[in-house]
Structure 1
Amino acid sequence: MSSFNLSKGDRFSLSKAAPGLSIVKIGMGWNPNEEQGGPEFDLDVSAFSIGSDFKIPSDSYFTFYGQLRMGNKIEDKIEKGLFRPLTEDGAIIGAIDDPDGTRSNGDDDEDMFIDLTKVSHKIEQIIICCTICKYPHDNKKDHRTLALNFGQVNECYIRIVDESSGSEILRYDLKDQYINEDALEFGRLFRVGDTWEFEAMGRAHTGSLQTLVDMYT
């Protein structure tokens, strides 16, 4: 299967591209443009599974690094002994925090896994987000992180992989230069009848993760 490169605003039918698709890996990567001696640059991946009211049904449907707990493995694809977030319906296993944006061997910086067959009927769309971790939530409690923004991030992308075959289905490379914003709604998975589609959103905000929490909770 050839991977499709999306642009901002593009919509893509996952169900048509990969009939029988069940488990997908959402991979995200970036290269922070750090200054020598500058603050630590930590990006975090999260997801909001929302219903028809555009809110999460319960706290478990906010998938982020702070909700670490051992969940059922998705076909043993999750590393043994590592803790990841897990939604109430068991459909989403969230990312492990990568504090420095350093990846090797072509791996994504952070990833999450979604079993589309398990997503609760209460959920109409899953918003995949990326935010910059800032003081006082950063590891080193460095006030300088308050000035960080997506204009200092290069080669930021999101991709969707068919976990059963390992084939990349689509990829969206962020082209916009956000010089003030520190929170990004990267893309969304949404239902169309009994099928799933993806939209490359690229919608940026200020206020880091808290802004998104206020929107969807």
Structure 2
Amino acid sequence: MAINLKKGQGINLTKAAPRLRIVRVGIGWDITRVIGQCDLDVSAFVLKTVGGNPVCLSDAHFVFFNNLQSPEGFLAHTGDNRTGAGEGDDETLKVDLEAAPQDAVEVSFIVTMHEALARRQHFGMVHNAYLKVYNDETGEVLAEYDLDQEFAGQTAVQIGSLFRADNEWQFQAVGAGYQRDLVDFVQGYGLDA
């Protein structure tokens, strides 16, 4: 049975599914007719800690619509959905826990609105947005996080983090909204934009 997470809450995935090998993170959303086309993009950064700060392992460990897989196959993006049309998850990432780089401590999941400032769009115009964490091998939903209207006026959300602590994998619903675009996160995690 899936756990419904609230902002700041987490789940110990290792304990919830002891044989868990591949985590699938699905993001879904609907848009209002008022705004027309709206393109949400999910991206993920494989992070290590340097001087107490999260830093991306390398440019190749920033996985998004133009870089669909990290070098060792730890993290993979299944493709860009530009409309949010259709049922089920609109964009999906898969994490192969057995392929984790030794110094990887976290995967940060970010959702941004493509060209939000130019289009005058924000997350308050998106409805039914959610994140689901699955056991990819069984299809079981382990955790869900429903985004609500608290992100009105925001153009990006750090939606969650998968992290390793004491050799156990955990997921936390972060829910931090920003008025930023993807370049800001790239630079914030120590990569060249």
User: Could you tell me the TM-score, scaled by structure 1's length?
Assistant: 0.82
- Displacement of 1:90 in angstroms is 1.1
Q: Structure 2 counterpart of 1:148, which letter?
A: Q
Would the aligned equivalents of 1:34 and 1:41 in 2 still touch at CA under 8 Å? Answer: no
Matches of 1:46 and 1:215, distance apart in 2? 14
- Aligned partners of 1:119 and 1:165: how far apart in 2? 20
Quote the RMSD (CA, aligned, Å).
Answer: 1.4
Is 1:215 the equivalent of 2:181? no
Q: Supply the distance in 2 between the matched residues of 1:166 and 1:178 (Cα, whole angstroms).
A: 29
Distance 1:131 1:109 in 2: 14
Larger radius of gyration: 1
Q: Are 1:49 and 2:46 counterparts?
A: yes
Equivalent AA in structure 2 for residue 215 of structure 1 = G
**Whole-Å separation in 2 of the counterparts to 1:192 and 1:176:** 31
Please report how far the alpha carbon of residue 144 of structure 1 lies from its aligned counterpart in structure 2 after TM superposition. 4.6
Structure 2 gap ranges (5+): none
CA 1:59–1:20 in 2, change beyond 3 Å: closer, same or farther? Answer: same
Which one of 147, 157, 179 corresponds to residue 206 of structure 1? 179
How many residue pairs were aligned? 187
| Structure 1: tracts of 5 or more residues without a match | 68-84, 136-142
Moved over 4 A (4+): none
State the identity as a percent. 29
- Work out whether 1:128 is the aligned partner of 2:101: no
User: Given the alignment of the two structures, is residue 23 of structure 1 paired with residue 22 of structure 2, yes or no?
Assistant: yes
Length-normalised TM-score, structure 2: 0.92
In the TM superposition, 1:66-215 aligns within 5 A as 66-67=66-67, 85-104=68-87, 107-134=88-115, 144-145=118-119, 147-215=120-188
